[in-house]
Amino acid sequence: RKEVEQDPGPFNVPEGATVAFNCTYSNSASQSFFWYRQDCRKEPKLLMSVYSSGNEDGRFTAQLNRASQYISLLIRDSKLSDSATYLCVVNDNNDMRFGAGTRLTVKP
């Protein structure tokens, strides 16, 4: 079983749609969680950290469910510029584990 699992997609959605990604992790002792965004042929960039209480940054909402060991990312009112691959990242004993990524394409 992979340590961090994501639905690879692709998710193809129209502009303005709401889209949600989930990610599950295997180590219940994992300490911190992040969502990174990676554009085609570019480096990953931090999108947001994920806190136990859930957190929001504009159109983006991240949630953590420790009991079920999953993390989610919700994007509201999606824009063309949101098209990218979204990587779920779990800090596992000072070792950052990346999911394979979920590809999102937002279409006009």
The Cα-based distances of 26 to 64, 69, 72, 89 in angstroms read 14, 7, 15, 12
- Whichever of 17 and 105 has its CB closer to other proteins, that residue is 105
| Per CB under 8 A, 45 contacts other proteins | yes
Instruction: Look up tokens 């209480």; give the residue.
Output: 53
Asked whether position 87 contacts other proteins by CB under 8 A, the answer is yes
Report the C-alpha gap between 35 and 18 in whole angstroms.
Answer: 17
The answer to whether residue 46 forms part of the interface with other proteins (CB under 8 A) is yes
Distance CA 8, CA 22 (A): 10
**93 part of the interface to other proteins, by CB under 8 A:** yes
Taking the complex as a whole, the smallest distance from the CB of residue 91 to other proteins amounts, in Å, to: 4
Contact at 8 Å (CB) between 66 and 52? yes
Which positions from 49 through 78 interact with other proteins, judged by CB under 8 A? Answer: 49
User: Which one of 42, 66, 79, 107 is in contact with other proteins (CB under 8 A)?
Assistant: 42
| Least CB distance to other proteins at residue 18 (A) | 26
93: which 2 tokens? Answer: 């004993």
